[in-house]
Amino acid sequence: MSLAGVVNTPIGVTTGPGAVITYLGLKSEQHKSQLDRDYVQSVFESNSVATTVNGVEIQKVTKGNAILAYEEIFRMWACELDLQQEKTLKDTYFEAAWAREKTSVDDDSSYLE
């Protein structure tokens, strides 16, 4: 499935940010099994780094590694985004979500680094 199928919908979704999210939403509907959830978790775990907080070793995901992880998942699930769509996803959704999650935690307990 490519984004072209979403862009040509009767509801008139354009190639803007809404179309990208609609497309990824449709792709995610195909990946709701426990196997898919385990795969996503393993990708993020393999892209995490070990760090010590208050004497306890935990895994954290850096911003760069989070991008690598979602790119790997998109490749595996055959999400076909062109460069502009990838930029839209990163600039419009990823950056805002990353900033929101980073500021919502006041201590070192966050899994994001």
**Phi/psi at 109 (nearest 5 deg)?**
-80, -10
Give the residues across from 57 on adjacent strands: 52
Enumerate the domain spans of the chain: 32-103
Reported confidence tier of residue 35, pLDDT bands at 50, 70, 90: very high
Is there a contact between 107 and 43 (Cβ–Cβ < 8 Å)? no
**pLDDT range class, residue 38, cuts 50, 70, 90:** very high
Q: Who contacts 67 (Cβ-Cβ below 8 Å, separation ≥6)? A: 90, 94
What local confidence, expressed as pLDDT, does residue 109 receive? 57
Q: Confidence band (pLDDT; 50, 70, 90) for 68? A: very high
Contact (CB, 8 A) for 59 and 45: yes
Tell me the C-alpha distance between 9 and 5, whole Å: 7
Q: State pTM to two decimals.
A: 0.69
pLDDT classification of 17: cutoffs 50, 70, 90: low
